[in-house]
Amino acid sequence: MKGMTLIVRTITDFVVGFIVVFGAYIVLYGHLTPGGGFAGGVIIACAFILLMLAHGKDVAFSKLGQHTAHVLDSAGALTFLLIGWIGLTAGYFFMNVFGRGEPFRLLSSGMILPANIAIAFKVGSSLFLVFAALATFRRKSFRAIIEDELT
Amino acid sequence: MENITPQLYTLLVFMVVGSVVAIETRNLLSAVISVSAVGFALSVAFLFLGAPDIAITQLVVEVLVLVILIRGTILIDNTAIESHRDTLAVVTSLIFFGLVLGFGAMIFGGAGFPEFGEPLMRVSKVYVQTGLPATHAANIVTAIILDFRAYDTLGEATVLFTSILGALALMRREGKTTRREVATA
């Protein structure tokens, strides 16, 4: 993919930072306002996909490499599992053992905030990987595949 | 809670029409856009029903899926493949349509549904009452999906992880080789 025109690229440069900040807000305030790890992670993935559509895949991969995305994907899933295991050491799986704090504060509700962050990393990087797979892997037309099979 | 049934029925009719258009249209790109219109209408319906968490997730995933599907369909040759009508599909649709009508007649003619928005909430009543004191999370939806039902969320994350793994394995055309293998070959 080569990227788009100068207008699209300029607007993308303005907007992409705000999209990431908004996604981070949705993730971090997931236990206070509507939103959460899944929605915020998808928003952050959308920012990188916008970058890839506007500037081409090389610029997007320089910001978030494919290997890094793989590592973040697995690390997010493992962190979420680890949070469950921490609960298991104290009682049952996913027991809320961290300090719960005051309601309506950012640092409250114990394990929900770290779990949200882990899910955001997991969802965001994996959805970015799906789009990266579509953009990276060389696509053959269906007819070319059939002709290869026949010859 | 004011009566929102007319808005919901309007959205429902719009979604049904969008689904039929998505199935019946010849052009693949039009089908993708019709499916997305159905998804956005569903997101608005969730907003009317007072579920902003689900509405946000639906909207965001819909945008992403629209981009991915358009990226997937815009390059390929999208002419309609089949022109004749599949008899089995028509018969199956008619049977299901009849089943829906039959169950609807049974429910609305007989005992009927519980009042709209007031179902028998046994388990969820406990969640709603003890959500804030037990978890100290102001958003009750997050408190449920990440504390009371966190095990379900773990399963959902596993499903996503596995499906991404399968998609990447399928889309990779050339196999992986190490540097040493390339050097010796």
- For residue A142, give how far its alpha carbon lies from the nearest alpha carbon of chain B (Å): 9
Q: Which residues in chain B have Cβ-Cβ distances shorter than 8 Å to A96?
A: 134-135, 147
Q: Is the pLDDT of residue A137 over 80?
A: no
Q: Is the pLDDT of residue A100 over 70?
A: yes
Q: Which residues in chain A have Cβ-Cβ distances shorter than 8 Å to B132?
A: 103
Q: Give me the total of CB pairs closer than 8 Å, taking one residue from chain A and one from chain B.
A: 141
Q: Which residues in chain A have Cβ-Cβ distances shorter than 8 Å to B172?
A: 133, 137
Q: Which residues in chain B have Cβ-Cβ distances shorter than 8 Å to A120?
A: none
**Pair of tokens at residue A66:** 């494919």
Q: φ, ψ for residue B177 (rounded to 5)?
A: -130, 150
CA distance A67 to A91: 36
What does the pLDDT read at residue B113? 64
pLDDT band at residue B14 under the 50/70/90 scheme: very high
pLDDT band at residue B104 under the 50/70/90 scheme: confident
| Closest residue by Cα to residue A105 from B25, B137, B23 | B137
B29 touches chain A (CB under 8 A): no
CA distance B132 to B140: 7
Query: Which ipTM score applies to this complex?
Result: 0.81
| Closest residue by Cα to residue A39 from A119, A110, A107 | A119
Q: Give the residue-averaged pLDDT of A37-64.
A: 89
- SS3 state at A94: coil
- For residue B89, give how far its alpha carbon lies from the nearest alpha carbon of chain A (Å): 26
Tell which wins on pLDDT, B119 or A23.
A23
**Pair of tokens at residue A134:** 């579509």
Residue A24 to residues A79, A96, A116, Cα–Cα distance (Å)? 18, 23, 11
Residue A112 to residues A62, A96, A107, B13, B39, Cα–Cα distance (Å)? 32, 8, 10, 38, 28
Highest mean pLDDT among A29-33, A98-102, A137-141: A29-33
Cα nearest neighbour of A39 on chain B: B57
B63 touches chain A (CB under 8 A): yes
Cα nearest neighbour of B76 on chain A: A141
What does the pLDDT read at residue A122? 93
CA distance B72 to B51: 31
Most A CBs within 10 A among B75, B146, B176, hence the mutation to make, goes to B146
Q: Which residues in chain A have Cβ-Cβ distances shorter than 8 Å to B28?
A: none
